[in-house]
Amino acid sequence: MTSYRAAEAALPRRCAVPPYMLEELDRSARTLARADQVRGPDLGHVLELDEQVRAARHRGLLPRRAISAPSGTLDRTISDARNTEELPGVTVRSEGQPPVQDAAVNEAYDGIGSVHTFLEEIYRQSSLDGTGLGLLATVHFGRRYDNAFWDGTQMVFGDGDGEIFTGFTPSLSVIGHELGHGLMQYSTDLDYEGQSGALNESFSDVLGALVDQYARGQTAPEASWLIGAEVFGEGVQARGLRSMAAPGTAYDDPRLGRDPQPAHMDGFVVTEADYGGVHVNSGIPNKAFHLAALALGGHAWERAGQVWFDVVIGEGLPRNVDFAGFAEATVVAARARFGDGVAGTVGGAWRQVGVLTGDPEPA
């Protein structure tokens, strides 16, 4: 086993809970402590670990592998860190074994299976690398660890503090989001900074939402479009970590603050924090996807999702692509697969959020 700190930097790690949310929660906890009130979860260590996560992600990524023909293999291994920071921990359930007594183990096993099934049945993609890559996860990471992340090789789940966050394995959209980072890693692998980093985060939200909708059998208008609706404790004024339908409205809580995501380029946040605001500005491409999916109707994975998937696994997208470049690529991909009508709808969605401007391009 290797410790989280010792393994630190060579691998890219991507967290579900954005840093601005944890920072606000930490400020609130410190205020309560100064007022001699009951202190909330101690987030200093969580923030320290998450900064290592983001720094490792920013410094460099694993070598990419080409997407190849699907093999149809599903191979899951779930381990238990037993509240240490040692990874991967002790194996507690492997592929084909029956459920165990630990709910987090079973939720991780089932959630990862749902993502694999979605990729294979909808996009004919076998696992994250297209060749049946084994899917690993560790539960019970750390003590009261308020996050879940993809570390470049596996998923890792904290248990939450039991007050604000009650665990991350119950949320299929969170599991889909984190495995979306793995899929991105083995395909286009967009640079994790600025607009390309926000697109990296947004694509993971897209996959998380689509997997959740597929499991529920929901059409685009029926879906909540929330990421992480299941992770909060009782009394927390939050509908989710993010809302793709209405960025900026997912939560408004005295301890968490207010959701800062913009839904339009008019609100684009210029910042040096979080590698150029990769978590906050992802609200803009998220909203564009939501608009495209609603306008196209039916199940979001059928057309809008297929277009985004085609772009991400394609070979022509620069790793440092900006919003406009990605938008143009989706229009081209939509026309290639579905024709001018869908291409026009996709371009219109990007114009509604201010990424593309001017009249639609001629067919």
Per annotation, catalytic residue among 178, 181, 201, 290: 178
Angle between helices 304-313 and 103-123 (to 10 degrees): 90
Q: Record the tokens describing residue 154, joined without a space.
A: 């596996």
Q: Record the tokens describing residue 219, joined without a space.
A: 């059409």
What count of other Cβ atoms lies within 10 Å of the Cβ of residue 121? 11
Tokens 């202190």 belong to which residue? 39
Determine the Cα–Cα distance for residues 60 and 45; give it in Å rounded to an integer. Answer: 23
Q: Is 58 annotated in the active site? A: no
Q: What is the mean pLDDT of the chain?
A: 88
Q: What are phi and psi of 229, to 5 degrees?
A: -65, -20
Kindly state the average pLDDT of the residues 62-66: 43
More confident residue, 17 or 359: 17
Per annotation, catalytic residue among 58, 140, 181, 279: 279
Determine the pLDDT at residue 52: 54
Strands (E) across 140-197 are located at: 148-150, 155-157
Rg (CA), the chain: 19
Residue 210 has pLDDT above 60, yes or no: yes
Residue 284 has pLDDT above 80, yes or no: yes
The winner for highest mean pLDDT among 25-29, 221-225, 316-320 is 221-225
More confident residue, 49 or 250: 250
More confident residue, 357 or 40: 357
Integer angstrom CA distances of residue 32 from 38, 146, 155, 160, 233? 7, 19, 33, 19, 18
Q: Which fold has domain 194-352?
A: Neutral Protease; domain 2 (1.10.390)
Q: pLDDT band at residue 46, thresholds of 50, 70 and 90?
A: low
Q: pLDDT band at residue 316, thresholds of 50, 70 and 90?
A: confident
Residue 330 has pLDDT above 60, yes or no: yes
Determine the Cα–Cα distance for residues 234 and 87; give it in Å rounded to an integer. Answer: 30
Q: How far apart are the first and last CA of the chain?
A: 56
Q: Record the tokens describing residue 301, joined without a space.
A: 């994975």
Q: Is 85 annotated in the active site? A: no
Determine the pLDDT at residue 26: 82
Of 43-52, 209-218, 258-267, give the lowest mean pLDDT range.
Answer: 43-52
| pTM recorded for the entire structure | 0.89
Determine the Cα–Cα distance for residues 289 and 42; give it in Å rounded to an integer. Answer: 36
Structural contact between residues 56 and 13, judged by C-beta atoms closer than 8 angstroms? yes
